[in-house]
């Protein structure tokens, strides 16, 4: 090849360089956007703002069995049962002692982290008193009234996921499929 042909070929390549750079930039940006769309990094969990429900009514309470050693009977108010966009199941719980004392609380269970939170206590006049222990705590089975663990494992959660909609959970509570396995023979 002569010098003139080499010089001509080099000039043609140099003219194509900006076009090649532009095309490569587009490919790189498309690849970056593609990877953003499939970002596997988990976003930090954010709890939603909580609205306290109306006071529970007797006709909306569904009892559930806890254990033969439980010192209270427990019921969930189905009208307060909700599944938030933050994947927290919230409910009003009524715990009734053998002497007739009633404790009403509005609580939440987060299936993914196996934690519970106490939002408020119910008063006799139907109003609520916000809890001062407004933090997430681990759920443990080894307590005298393990109702949080029973609710989590048997009714509200399916592993680390919520066990369906609020209606699904209420239906499951009404069916009481697990009570027999805890009843003494």
Confidence (pLDDT) at 185 = 46
pLDDT of residue 181: 47
Is 161 within the bounds of a domain? Answer: yes
Q: Is 49 among the domain residues?
A: no
Residue 102 sits in the same domain as residue 159: yes
Tell me, yes or no, whether 163 and 82 share the same domain: yes
Domain check: are 62 and 17 in the same one? no
What's the total number of domains in the chain?
A: 2
Least Cα distance to 93 among 71, 67, 130, 120 occurs for 120
Residues 94 and 169 in one domain: yes
Q: Are residues 12 and 70 in the same domain?
A: no
User: Which pLDDT does position 21 carry in this prediction?
Assistant: 54
Regions of the chain short of the pLDDT cut 70: 1-40, 144, 176-185
The answer to whether residues 5 and 75 belong to one domain is no
**Model confidence pTM above 0.85:** no
Assess if residue 53 is contained within a domain: no
Are 95 and 171 found together in one domain?
yes
- Expressed as residue numbers, the domain containing 11 is 1-36
Which CATH number do you get for residue 99?
Answer: 2.40.128
Over the range 84-112, which residues count as b (16 or more CB within 10 Å of their CB) and which as e?
beebbbbbbbbbbeeeeeeebbbbbbbbe
Tell me what pLDDT residue 2 has. 64
């Amino acid at each position: 090849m002569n010098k003139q042909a080499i010089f001509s070929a080099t000039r043609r390549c140099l003219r194509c360089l900006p076009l090649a750079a532009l095309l490569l930039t587009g490919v790189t940006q498309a690849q970056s956007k593609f990877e953003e769309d499939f970002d596997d990094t988990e976003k930090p969990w954010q709890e939603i703002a909580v609205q306290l429900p109306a006071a529970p009514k007797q006709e909306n309470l569904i009892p559930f069995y806890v254990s033969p050693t439980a010192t209270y009977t427990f019921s969930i108010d189905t009208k307060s049962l909700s599944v938030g966009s933050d994947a927290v199941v919230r409910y009003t719980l009524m715990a009734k002692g053998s002497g007739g004392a009633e404790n009403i609380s509005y609580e939440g269970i987060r299936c993914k982290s196996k934690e519970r939170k106490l939002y408020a206590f119910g008063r006799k006049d139907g109003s609520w008193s916000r809890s001062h222990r407004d933090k997430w705590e681990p759920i443990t089975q080894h307590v005298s009234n393990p109702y949080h663990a029973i609710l989590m494992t048997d009714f509200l959660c399916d592993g680390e996921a919520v066990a369906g909609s609020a209606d699904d959970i209420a239906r499951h509570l009404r069916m009481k499929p697990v009570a027999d396995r805890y009843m003494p023979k």
